[in-house]
Chain A
Amino acid sequence: MHALYDLAVGPLAWLAFGVFIIGSIYRLLAMRALALKKDGAFMTYISWPHAIKSLVHWFTPFGALGWKENPGVTIATFVFHICLFLVPIFLMGHIVLFDTFRGWSWPALPDGVADALAIVVVLICAYFLWRRLSVPEVRFLTTPQDVFVVSLVGLTFLTGVLAYHRIGDNLVLTTLHILCGEAMLAAIPFTRLSHMLFAVFSRGYIASEFGSVRFAKDW
């Protein structure tokens, strides 16, 4: 298990970050090239002022019609995504790792806060899974990949929380936590998680069409 732990914090960490960063850059550049090659009659209307105005609405809870009409999902989605970024980046345990291996350090969230937010992520993942299985509209759409992706995120945070609270075998859970996190990072460019890369552009494009061609708001 120690060997696996060393592998996870060593070569696999490099691999995961490499796949995530290089993969993301590749996907973005390849998609841009495809858009310029094949969607010229649409890309020509890209208007960043309109895109930004729309994105401000969509990045505001209840700032768009879809958010207003789905209040439960809206609250869960915003809290989930904020925690998803906040906790891993500003967790003391992670900063210590970067400090130890690379000598990088930055301010951390208080442990209690980070712990609470991580538990919130686990609970929201459980809520998302429950929706996938129980809400007819969501169940109709659900594919195995959707379940896999939510489970992966949920497991990453769950194992992290358990390891922090010293519940179960600490080495096993910590190793599992790291492996899940690495799988999640590597999955971002190549699964539905790629909405992290493309959402701003797909929304920005349609906002440009609505703003500069159709003179109508798209939120």
Chain B
Amino acid sequence: MSTIADRLIEDAGLRAGVSRLTPEKIEKVFKELIAGECGARLKTYLETCVHCGMCAKACHYYMSHKDPSYMPAAKVTQTMAKLMAAGGKVDPKLIYECAQVSYTECNLCRRCIHYCPLGIDTGYIMSVVRRLCHKLGCTPQYIQDTAHSHSATMNQMWVKDDEWPDTLQWQEEEARDEFPGLRIPLDLEGADFMYSVIAPEPKFRTQLIYQAAAIFNAAGLNWTMPSMPGWDNSNMAMFSGDSEIMGRVERAHYEMAQKLRVKRIVMGECGHAFRAVYDVGNRWLGWKWTPVPMVHSIEFFWELIQQGRIKITHKYADPVTIHDPCNVIRGRGLMDKLREVTHFLCEEVVEMHPNREHNYCCCAGGGVINCGPPFKNVRVAGNSIKAEQLKATGVHTLVAPCHNCHGGLEDIISKYELGMHTKFLGDLIYELMEKPEAE
């Protein structure tokens, strides 16, 4: 039977990292990690897994390859179980394998929790393996670059301090051609909400900022965006295993909202960022719940529709299907609101199956797409099951309110020639909404 050792992919970051390791160094770091950061969850999961194999069908990698070495429990037996058995004193070669499994063959999507009667959270175990790899300096080069960017600039994409407000003002200027009264209010203290986005938006999806501003303008909202670091809500350090940088990034984001004295944070259409702000950063910083109230765009658009603040001229005519992003569905239960918003905007919605909490992952999230080109084929080949799921709907428009999902889905749509287009809710709302002052 094939194992991870049979499919190693060359990555400069992993190769350089592993070359610096010795079994003794790994043992030292592993023991510190287990003693310092791990507790009853890891111990229980590793001890009680009865190796029943029921989790196989949970994982899109397994469903696509039908190779046992991709199933959730097998990811653990090939990594953490080996480390535990050896007390961490392992050949550096194993760390390469651990890194490739945990960073590039698991999206931390948590679907396997719906399959394991014991409730074993394989995503958590993979996060611990990533944490070890990070501490050992063995991280895939591309995702490490984003973590470096977070560390140096407080955003994921090396956006410089002057480029950020410049981009916002550029989008404001562009939008004022269409909506003369539109503003993107910077640092407006006491605004109703701070709108935060992920750094790829100013970097290469600036039209999303334009569209959001147009929607907020049409709805007559009192909002603001920060001009200083803390504006980026993304967090790849969370996925690279760098909890310290992860915590700094989240602190900067919360504190920016507190400094602006806004009532809450509205987050753009991104899943992992939501996970970082809603579920991970707060815990690291010692908050049970987020220190500043926050909502994801799905919920925010849903509120605006309920309040009658978004009016559309017509519904989207072509049938659409809905992709449920893990981090806001399994991570926040927004499946009903996502459907209500989509039904409000579109004539016909064709559901894909399985859906809602049971939906298959896009195979890009969890930092996998951020591991870059060396691993692209793995995640595209590893999600043929999603391609089949999409194809079965027979529609050409796919609503996916998450950036990583867009990236992953577009790749499989292209590879499997599905002839579909992905859309954010913001794309649809902007396209369909009444634009009273538009010229």
User: A: which residues have CB within 8 A of B?
Assistant: 31-32, 34-35, 37-39, 41-42, 44-45, 58, 64-67, 69-70, 73, 77, 131, 135-143, 146, 192, 194-195, 198-199, 201-207, 210, 213-219
Q: Is the CB of A65 within 8 A of B118?
A: no
Q: With A142-B51, A215-B333 in contact, is A202–B45 under 8 Å at CB?
A: yes
| Alpha-carbon gap, A210 to B354, bound state (A) | 19
Q: With A64-B114, A192-B49, A216-B332 in contact, is A34–B357 under 8 Å at CB?
A: no
A70's contact among B57, B69, B71, B330, by CB below 8 Å, is which?
B57
Q: Is the CB of A66 within 8 A of B50?
A: no
Q: Is the CB of A66 within 8 A of B58?
A: yes
Any A CB within 8 A of the CB of B87: no
| Alpha-carbon gap, A112 to B43, bound state (A) | 42
Tell me, rounded to whole Å, the shortest Cβ–Cβ distance linking B335 to chain A: 8
| Alpha-carbon gap, A127 to B283, bound state (A) | 44
Q: Is the CB of A58 within 8 A of B117?
A: yes
Q: Is the CB of A202 within 8 A of B51?
A: no
B44's contact among A37, A44, A198, A217, by CB below 8 Å, is which?
A198
Q: Is the CB of B116 within 8 A of A216?
A: no
Any A CB within 8 A of the CB of B77: yes
* Chain B residues numbered 40-93 whose CB sits less than 8 Å from any CB in chain A: 40-41, 43-45, 47-58, 68-69, 71, 73-74, 77
Q: With A136-B68, A218-B113, A218-B114 in contact, is A34–B51 under 8 Å at CB?
A: no
Name the CB-closest residue of B to A190: B47
Q: With A140-B1, A207-B119, A216-B329 in contact, is A201–B44 under 8 Å at CB?
A: yes
Q: Is the CB of A206 within 8 A of B119?
A: yes
Any A CB within 8 A of the CB of B38: yes
| Alpha-carbon gap, A213 to B55, bound state (A) | 23
Any A CB within 8 A of the CB of B31: no
B357's contact among A70, A205, A217, by CB below 8 Å, is which?
A217
* Inter-chain pairs besides A73-B52, A203-B117, A216-B333, 8 sampled, C-beta below 8 Å: A31-B40, A31-B44, A34-B43, A35-B39, A39-B39, A73-B53, A77-B117, A206-B113
Q: Is the CB of B68 within 8 A of A140?
A: yes
Any A CB within 8 A of the CB of B331: yes
A-B contact list, 9 entries, CB within 8 Å: A41-B284, A66-B116, A67-B117, A69-B57, A194-B47, A195-B48, A201-B44, A206-B113, A216-B331
- Chain A residue contacts of B263, Cβ below 8 A: none
Name the CB-closest residue of A to B354: A65
Q: With A34-B40, A39-B39 in contact, is A140–B52 under 8 Å at CB?
A: no
Any A CB within 8 A of the CB of B339: no
Q: With A38-B39, A39-B40, A192-B49 in contact, is A140–B74 under 8 Å at CB?
A: yes
Q: Is the CB of A73 within 8 A of B54?
A: yes
- Chain B residue contacts of A206, Cβ below 8 A: 113, 119, 121
- Chain B residue contacts of A66, Cβ below 8 A: 54-55, 58, 114-117
- Chain B residue contacts of A141, Cβ below 8 A: 51, 53, 68, 71, 73-74, 77
- Chain A residue contacts of B37, Cβ below 8 A: 38
Any A CB within 8 A of the CB of B95: no
- Chain A residue contacts of B354, Cβ below 8 A: 65
Q: Is the CB of A192 within 8 A of B333?
A: no
Any A CB within 8 A of the CB of B27: no
